[in-house]
Amino acid sequence: MLDSRAFLIGTAGSSGWYTSAVNVTLLLMNGTSPPDSIWYRLDNGTWTQYAQSFVVVGDGVHTLDFNATDGAGLNEIVHHLTISIDTALPASSAAVVGTSGNNGWYISNATVSLGATDATSGVRGITYRIDGLDWLDYAGPLSLAEGPHLVEYYATDVAGLAESVRSQAVNVDMTPPASVAPRSPGRRERMDGSSPM
């Protein structure tokens, strides 16, 4: 009975994805006479007789079809494999909404929205923290209180790849400066600020 199998070697990510190129080895698990051979095709290309291991490269979802054939012309049922590769990091970004003042300060409520893209496996989520506190899963816009703040964040994709941490400084000051009325000299205080003896 014909029995061919595929063995894949690559860096395993999450959800069935590889995060590197994948080396493919096809083997016959039993032999018959006349001699057997294995045929394969990648991504619906031309059928090729297998001679040695080969490498699947390129981000995306690839299809591998293969089967064994013996010298008498008997064909094994075709096997179908999916090889999913994602080597590109996701990319996140931050957008701040508020009324801009001077010197990089916001003079109204400031809201930070985080977003991310990943062209291959897709975005799994965004993680963030504010002012060095605990890391949290991003679920919606962040409203910041008065004061200087640092928002750190990064995205992770479905394949398990995470980008480097990014940061966004957000400074909020909604309190007007207090004005101080000039002091008038009292009856017993001279105009030069000295007191009479």
Closest-CA residue to 1 (of 58, 62, 74): 74
Domain boundaries, the chain: 4-85, 91-172
Cα of 21 vs its chain's centroid, Å? 19
The pLDDT tens digits of the residues spanning 32-83 come to 555 689 999 999 999 999 999 999 999 999 999 999 998 777 889 999 999 9
> Fold for domain 91-172?
Immunoglobulin-like (2.60.40)
Please tell us whether the domain made up of 4-85 is placed in CATH 3.40.630.30.
no
Are 55 and 22 spatial neighbours (Cβ–Cβ below 8 Å)?
yes
Between CA 191 and CA 73 the distance in angstroms is 118
The pLDDT tens digits of the residues spanning 81-122 come to 999 999 999 999 999 999 999 999 999 999 999 999 999 999
* pTM (two decimals): 0.82
